[in-house]
Structures are given as C-alpha cells and as structure tokens.
Amino acid sequence: MSTEALENLCIAAFDPMPTPRELHARLPITSRAAETVRAARASLNAILDRRDPRLFVVAGPCSIHDPVAGLDYARRLKALADELADTLFIIMRVYFEKPRTTVGWKGYINDPHMDDSFRVDIGMERARDFLLKVNDLGLATGTEALDPNSPQYLGDLIAWNAIGARTTESQTHREMSSGLSTPVGFKNGTSGDLAVAVNAILSASHPHAFLGVDADGRIAIVRTTGNPYGHMVLRGGDGKPNYDTVSIALAEESLRKAKLPANLVVDCSHANSHKKPEMQPLVLSDVTSQILAGNRSIVGVMIESNLEAGNQSIPADLAQLKYGLSVTDACVDWATTEKMLREAAAQLRDVLPKRKA
C-alpha cells in the first residue's frame, strides 16, 4: 500500500510560505524600531524585578484588522505614553491571532482579507510591516503568542507576550514561552483556575527542547534556556471577576507557594468586566485603589481600547466596516482610554515610587 493512501487524507493543499529569513530581508528592522524594542524589554524586566516602580499598561484594540486605523490609534497612544511616562509604562496591544472555541475570524495573520481566503503569507508580511511602523514611532508592542511559528517571523518586534486562557495549559505554548525573548504573561484558565498559570510560569522558566522552525524555515530541534520573566495575568473566569482584594490575595498566595515572584497583571476586560467595556474603567479604578491602599503585587494592567466604543460584526460588504471599531471583543473608546489612564497616573504618581524595592 502506498503512503498516499495513508497520509494527508484531510489535507486540501500545502501552500508555500516565505521563510522567516526571507521576510526579515524584505522588511528589515530599523535602528529606531530595534531601540524601541530593546528599551521596552529592559523597562518591563525592571518593573518585574521591582527596579522600576512604574505600572505597565498594555492598551489597544482587541484585534488589529485595519492597519490605517491601527496606526491612527498608535500615534495617539504614543503621545499619551510620553505624557504619562513618569508613572505608567504604556505599550500597545497588537493582537493578530485570535483563538476560537469553535469557528470565527482567526485574525489578521490568518485571514487578512477577511473573506476566508486565508492568505497567511500576506497576513504575516502585513503584520510585520505594521509592527515596524508602530515601533518606528517609538511605541513598543505586546501581543498574544498563539501560533508557535509566528515568533520566528515577528519576535524581534515584540516587547511583551501573553499566553491566552485557552493555551496557558498547553505544553506547546509553555515550551515556546521558555524560548521567547520577552517577558510573558500567562492568563488564568477560562474557568478562573490559577494553578494552570502557576504551572505554566514554572514550566516556562526551565529549559526545553521541542520541534520548531529555524530562520530558514527548516524543521529544527529548538533548545531553550528558560524564561525568567513569566508572570500571572488575572482575567476572571467562569463569568466571574478575580481582581478584587480577596482574589488578588489568593493569587499572591498561589505564587508564594510555588516560590515565584508575586507579579500580577490585571486584565480589565474579559470576565473581569463581564465583557462589558463600560465596566473596564471601574476595574482600573478598583486596582488603583488597591495600590493606594498598599498593594505591592499588581505590576500591570491590560485594557481593550479602540478609537470607537463597542464592536461590530464583519459585514459581507467590507466597505461597510466602521472605522476604528473592533470586529472582535467590544472596547472602550479613545476618550475613555485617555481619561482612565490620566486619572490612574494622577492618583499613583506619588505612591508608586514608594513600592520600589
């Protein structure tokens, strides 16, 4: 019996992709972008090490689907980041890959044309181009590391990575995280379970060996040294928030028991806001109050924010898409984002320096 009768029975085609080296050659990192990434990673490491007392903020659209609107947002966020830089270290949320429980649009890399043509080759190139432009503004970026091959294409332009609630328990993503060049935030499980995030941080801190691709697109045995900057992201779970003082204390205890640094990031969206964007300011206000009351473990926050409030379905006629409006989770608008972050910075400006170790 031939192998044709045994292999690839559910495969329709193998379409070629450019190698990471080829894409880097087409869109090389600039000196400005490289310095943005280097400086941002150093700042994030310093915050996690408690050498920098600032709160880091990952703010931006739930997902990128329109690079023009995305750059409009980036320019505004850069100006705000500069204004509040003494208290908040702000980076842009730039998510290109969207995990799906069943089906749905999987993001800009997977389907850049939003028409089920799945031109991943085009999506990857456009994603790299977008990241270059944002970093060239002097604004660092954070993303969700979902596809294990994507970091080879984009990793030099990312300052912070998140591992989502659906993938924190995945061995593949824990191994990948052990080799990422950035700090990595592991979200608690969709059920709210903290143990999966604790175990992921522990796993990623150790060396691993696994199959991956190298810069030339060859399958390789990837050997990692372990990532010392894993931390927990609280995003709520099972329809309930977990940013209140009791939940924060339980998260701190779970990290202490595992002999891990008590570094927590609060995601103001998802179950923490019941997926209602108008509740995100309330979450940030509560977190700010906890820090004012003496909390030392909350080192960062995440905000789902766009130019316009809410979200929209992807229409059959893409010309009907509304500018600056999310096509995935609902977001707060730009005016609300400015207000949230300015108020938090004003309240925390004199308090955060006292937390420095």
Res 355: pLDDT: 85
Proportion of the chain above pLDDT 70, given as a percent: 98
Query: Is residue 161 predicted with pLDDT exceeding 80?
Result: yes
Query: Is residue 266 predicted with pLDDT exceeding 90?
Result: yes
pLDDT tier at 6, thresholds 50, 70, 90: confident
Q: Which of 231, 247, 237 is nearest to 56 (CA)?
A: 231
- Angle, CA of 16, 33 and 85, to the nearest 5°: 135
On average, the pLDDT of the chain sits at: 96
Query: Is residue 253 predicted with pLDDT exceeding 80?
Result: yes
Cα 177 from Cα 270, distance rounded (Å): 22
Could you read off the pLDDT of 101-121 as tens digits, one per residue? 667 899 999 999 999 999 999
Q: What is the mean pLDDT of residues 319-335?
A: 97
Tokens of 216: 């030339």
Architecture of domain 15-355: Alpha-Beta Barrel (3.20)
Q: What is the mean pLDDT of residues 196-222?
A: 97
Proportion of the chain above pLDDT 90, given as a percent: 94
Res 248: pLDDT: 98
pLDDT tier at 258, thresholds 50, 70, 90: very high
Tokens of 192: 């709210």
Query: Is residue 136 predicted with pLDDT exceeding 70?
Result: yes
Q: Which residue shows structure tokens 């270059």?
A: 132
Q: What is the mean pLDDT of residues 21-25?
A: 98
Could you read off the pLDDT of 48-61 as tens digits, one per residue? 999 999 999 999 99
List alpha helices for 84-181, DSSP H.
120-136, 150-154, 171-177
DSSP letter for each residue of 221-283? EEE----TTEEEEE--BTTB---SHHHHHHHHHHHHHTT----EEEESSGGGGTT-GGGHHHH
- Please report, as a single letter, which amino acid is at residue 236: G
**Angle in degrees, 0-180, between the axes of helices 245-257 and 195-204, rounded to the nearest 10:** 40
Q: What is the mean pLDDT of residues 131-150?
A: 97
Res 102: pLDDT: 64
Cα 43 from Cα 56, distance rounded (Å): 9
Pick the range with the lowest mean pLDDT from 27-36, 97-106, 161-170, 223-232: 97-106
Cα 20 from Cα 212, distance rounded (Å): 12
- If phi > 0 it is left, if psi is from -120 to 50 it is alpha, else beta; for residue 95 that is beta
Query: Is residue 329 predicted with pLDDT exceeding 70?
Result: yes
Which sequence spans correspond to the domains of the chain?
A: 15-355
Res 280: pLDDT: 98
Q: Which of 184, 158, 45 is nearest to 96 (CA)?
A: 158
pLDDT tier at 232, thresholds 50, 70, 90: very high
Res 4: pLDDT: 72
Cα 268 from Cα 250, distance rounded (Å): 18
CA distance readout (Å), 162 to 103, 307, 333: 22, 23, 23
Tokens of 72: 């409009």
Query: Is residue 1 predicted with pLDDT exceeding 60?
Result: no
